[in-house]
Amino acid sequence: MLDEQQFQTMADQALTRLEKALNKAAEVYNFEADMNNGALTVEFEEPPTKFVVSPNSPVRQIWISAHLRSFKLDWIAERQSFVLAATGQDLNDLMAEHISKQLDEEVTL
């Protein structure tokens, strides 16, 4: 398991990469992404919806709240990524899936 400093470093890097990918996609698709106080929000106008991606230091996970569900991703060193154990999806792939579902069109991050 990562210690707290390692987790913070990996989580910050993962969220920064995700934010860049989201901002690039937001130029094409109808949503906004914003990083504030360590949490990343993705907001949609129609219908009004918000996804939140945030690090949870005590349990060393990144949590995503999307479509009335919570997803908890663990750091997998072999993949150098935060991954949802149930599906094997990494952070960007999981977000792309839920943004695609929200917009009803395929979005790649």
CATH number at residue 42: 3.30.920.10
What is the reported pLDDT for 46?
Answer: 86
Q: What is the mean pLDDT of residues 86-92?
A: 98
Q: Does the residue 108 lie in any domain?
A: no
Q: What are phi and psi of 58, to 5 degrees?
A: -55, -35
Cα-based torsion angle of the residue sequence 71, 10, 53, 72 in order, rounded to the nearest 10 degrees: 10
Share of the chain above pLDDT 90, in %: 95
**Tokens 């398991």 belong to residue:** 1
Domain that holds residue 82: 4-103
The helix (H) or strand (E) run that includes residue 31 is none
Tokens standing for 90? 């990494």
Q: How confident is the model at residue 2 (pLDDT cuts 50, 70, 90)?
A: confident
Q: Does the residue 75 lie in any domain?
A: yes
Q: How confident is the model at residue 1 (pLDDT cuts 50, 70, 90)?
A: confident
Q: Does the residue 109 lie in any domain?
A: no
Q: Are 70 and 59 in contact (CB under 8 A)?
A: no
Q: What is the mean pLDDT of residues 46-74?
A: 96
Counting the structural domains of the chain, the total is 1
DSSP assignment letter at 90 = B
Interval 19-42: pLDDT, tens = 999 999 999 999 999 999 999 999
Q: What is the mean pLDDT of residues 84-108?
A: 97
Q: CA-CA distances (angstroms) from residue 69 to 26, 50, 64, 85?
A: 23, 12, 8, 15
